[in-house]
A = this chain, B = another copy of it.
Amino acid sequence: MAKQRASVKDVAQRAGVSVGTVSNVLNRPETVTERTRQRVETAMADLNFMRNASARQLRAGVSTTVGAILTDLGNPFYTEIARGIEDRLAVDGHALMVCSTDEDPQREARFVRQFAEQGVRGILVTPMVSTPDRLRELATFGIPSVLIDSRSDTHASVGGDHVGGGRLALEHLLAQGHRHIVFLNADKHLQQSRHRLRGAVEAITAAGLDPGTVLQVVNLSQPTASEGEQALIKLLEGPEPRPTALFCINDIVALGVIRGLRTRGLRIPQDVAVVGYDDLYWASELMTPLTSVRQPMRQIGWAAADLLLRDPLGATHTVFPPELIVRKSSDYQRPAD
């Protein structure tokens, strides 16, 4: 049953040539006579020859697979990025290996090592704080990497402008008359979180207001719908006056928040306005259509893969501008106090 796969040797034998010639047909067809090439190709077809990628890579040293280390493949934000990466890789036949870290540095370290052992052509990663250190060493071994959605001085990167995104969101909320806003943020160590916060603060300052009184930051342990809902409940039950607007680190958190507000009979946007981030495809179809900061995820993935394949060493930083999509969840002009 377990028939053996044909090797170049078998092909050579059947075509009556040497293995070197078979290899030439495969890699430098122009150096081989038409006639011999035909013979070899027929033999390959007859035997259903398949190259052994391991042997190939061992000898030639070049790999045709790229590794992507994402935060969570289950999250549509990262999935869209993955799809963009995949599309770019498919252009020149590269394969994609993926894994989810769930923001666990240990897991990340394991995956980095695993990819290195596989000898991948390069690594794309949505990084944590400690990631660049882990990747630097690989670079000395000739394995390049590109950071996605976060930047560092030592690595090339592709991502959105999070400072700008945070600014857009806050400018909008301030213009609507909000003066007590809560930012449901992710881990404060994540660069995206810090940048969006910075943008938010910038917008408040630019409006001549005091960030300390206008903006309250809550850091979620996980940027999920249920964590968002939990955080909301805590806010509502707390002693402080109810915020009039919530800026959520992503649409999924916003989803939980909307659910929570609805359950408690609070009107969106009249009682509380909500703004999300990422503008996932369902944002416009929610019970309360969601205002959100759009990022071109698929393009980001595409660009990252493109950069990795073309020019991974130049520490280029590609930034895609965010776009605010205003929908009903924040479309309400608040009367001045």
Contact = CB atoms under 8 A, between A and B. Distances in A.
Contacts of A286: 282, 285-287
B98 A98 contact: yes
Contact of A100 (B80, B86, B118): B86
Interface in A17-71: 48, 50-55, 57-58, 65
A71 to B, nearest CB: 12
A189 interface: no
A282 B280 CA distance: 11
Contact of A73 (B50, B86, B100): B86
Given A258-B285, A282-B282, A50 B116 contact: yes
A65 B83 CA distance: 20
A52 B57 CA distance: 10
Given A52-B119, A287-B286, A79 B73 contact: yes
A87 to B, nearest CB: 8
Residue from the set A54, A252, A282 with the largest chain B CB neighbour count within 10 Å: A54
A212 interface: no
A130 interface: no
Interface string A285-298: 11111000000001
Contacts of A255: 281-282, 285
Copies in the complex: 2
Given A141-B3, A286-B285, A287-B286, A51 B117 contact: yes
Interface in A75-93: 76, 79-80, 82-83, 86, 90, 93
Given A98-B96, A286-B282, A73 B82 contact: yes
B141 A2 contact: yes
Contact of A58 (B1, B58, B141, B252): B58
Contacts of A110: 93
A97 B97 contact: yes
Interface string A238-269: 00000000000000100100110000000000
B140 A52 contact: no
Nearest to A61: B54
Contacts of A95: 97, 99, 114-115, 118
Contacts of A3: 140-141
A282 B256 CA distance: 10
Contacts of A96: 97-99
Interface string A152-195: 00000000000000000000000000000000000000000000
7 contacts: A3-B141, A51-B117, A65-B118, A73-B86, A90-B107, A95-B115, A259-B285
Q: Which 4 A-B pairs have the closest CB atoms?
A: A74-B83, A54-B58, A54-B57, A54-B54
Interface of A: 1-3, 5, 48, 50-55, 57-58, 65, 72-74, 76, 79-80, 82-83, 86, 90, 93, 95-100, 107, 110, 113-119, 137, 140-142, 225, 252, 255, 258-259, 281-282, 284-289, 298
